[in-house]
Amino acid sequence: MLFLKKISKLLFVFIILTMVLSFGSLYLLRQSSFYKSSFLVNAVSQDSFEYIILGASDGLTTLNTKVIDSTLSIEGINLAMDDTSLSSHYLMLQHFLAEGKQAEYCILVSRASSFNTYSNTLNGNDYRFLMYTNRPYVSDYYRQFPGANAKILHYSKWLPQLGVSYYNAELFYPSIVSLFKPEMRNHFDEKGNFSYPILNANDQSITKLTEEPVEFLNPYVIKIKALCEAHNMKLICYIPPNESKNAISNSTTYKVINHSSILKNSKYFYDEIHVNSLGRQIASVNFAETFKNIRANHLK
C-alpha cells in the first residue's frame, strides 16, 4: 500500500510538472513570431490590407508580396503555410479575422488537384495553431477530423502535455528558441514570404503539359468563399505555375487566375510543383499585372 501511495505521488508530480512545462511552451510560442499563427498576432500590427495570400508551400514560395506591393503601391501579406491544405487555409482565414484584421482581396493559392479533392484530413503542420486551442474555431477544427493525431490536438485544450509531448521537436524546442529570440521566424520573412533556391541549372524548354481540369469540388473552397463574402472580401483562386500540368478552368462561380503554364523553362522550377527564386520573380510580376487589371475592373 505504501508503495502504491509513493507511485501515485510521483505520478501526480509528473503530471503537474509536464502540464506546467507544456503550458509554458505554448505560452512562449504564443508570444513569439516563430510560426505564422503567432507571427500574425504579434508581429503584424497593420489591421487592413489590400490582399492576403492563403495557401500551402506553393503559395508560400510563388507569390512575393514585396514584388507585388512595390509594383502596385499596395500592402499585402503572405499567410501561406507549408504542408497544409484548403482546410488549413480556412482556419488561417478564421484566425486572421479573429484578430480583427481585414483585407479587400483573399488570394487562395492551390493546385488543381487540391481544388478537386473532396475529402480533407488533418494536415502535417496543423499543430502550429495549438497555442490557440482555447479559441473555439481552433478547437472545433481539430475535433472535426478522425485519427489519433487530431484527437491529441483536440484534447490538448485540457491536457496540453499531450500535444507538446507528441510534437515535441516542433513545439517544445521552438519554444526554447522563442524564449531567447521571440522575434525569430520559421523560414519566412517579415512579409510572410519564402523562396526555394536555384538547384536546376538546365536551360530546358517545357514543350508538353498534361491538361488537368479544375472542378472546385473541395468543400473548403465553398467555406472560404462564404467567409470572405461575410466579411466583404473578394476571393481570387490562384493556380500557380506547374512544370508538367496545365490547369483548365471554366468556372463561373470563382474568379480564377490560372498561371499554371506561364513558365516555359525548367530553370524556373525547384521541383515539379514549386518555383525557385527566378520563377517566383516572374510569377509575382505576372500576378501583379493581372491583379492590377482585376482591381481596376472592380473600381469601375
Residue 8 lies inside a defined structural domain of this protein = no
Residue 18 lies inside a defined structural domain of this protein = yes
Domain that holds residue 220: 14-299
Residue 3 lies inside a defined structural domain of this protein = no
Instruction: Identify the three-state secondary structure at position 245.
Output: strand
Residue 157 lies inside a defined structural domain of this protein = yes
Confidence band, pLDDT 50/70/90 cuts, at residue 151: very high
Structural domains of the chain, count: 1
Look up residue 127 and give its DSSP letter.
G
pLDDT, one tens digit per residue, over 244-291 is: 999 999 888 999 999 999 999 999 999 999 999 999 999 999 999 999
Residue 228 lies inside a defined structural domain of this protein = yes
Residue 271 lies inside a defined structural domain of this protein = yes
Confidence band, pLDDT 50/70/90 cuts, at residue 121: confident
Residue 4 lies inside a defined structural domain of this protein = no
Q: Which one is predicted more confidently, 25 or 10? A: 25
By residue count, the chain amounts to 300
| Residue (of 55, 70, 40, 34) closest to 275 by Cα position | 55
Residue 274 lies inside a defined structural domain of this protein = yes
User: Measured between alpha carbons, how far is 250 from 100 in angstroms, rounded to an integer?
Assistant: 34
User: Measured between alpha carbons, how far is 29 from 172 in angstroms, rounded to an integer?
Assistant: 9
User: Measured between alpha carbons, how far is 186 from 192 in angstroms, rounded to an integer?
Assistant: 10
Residue 69, phi then psi, degrees to nearest 5: -65, -40
CA torsion, ordered 185, 103, 284, 263, to nearest 10 deg = 110
22 backbone φψ class: left, alpha, beta (φ>0; ψ -120 to 50): alpha
Q: Which one is predicted more confidently, 1 or 176? A: 176
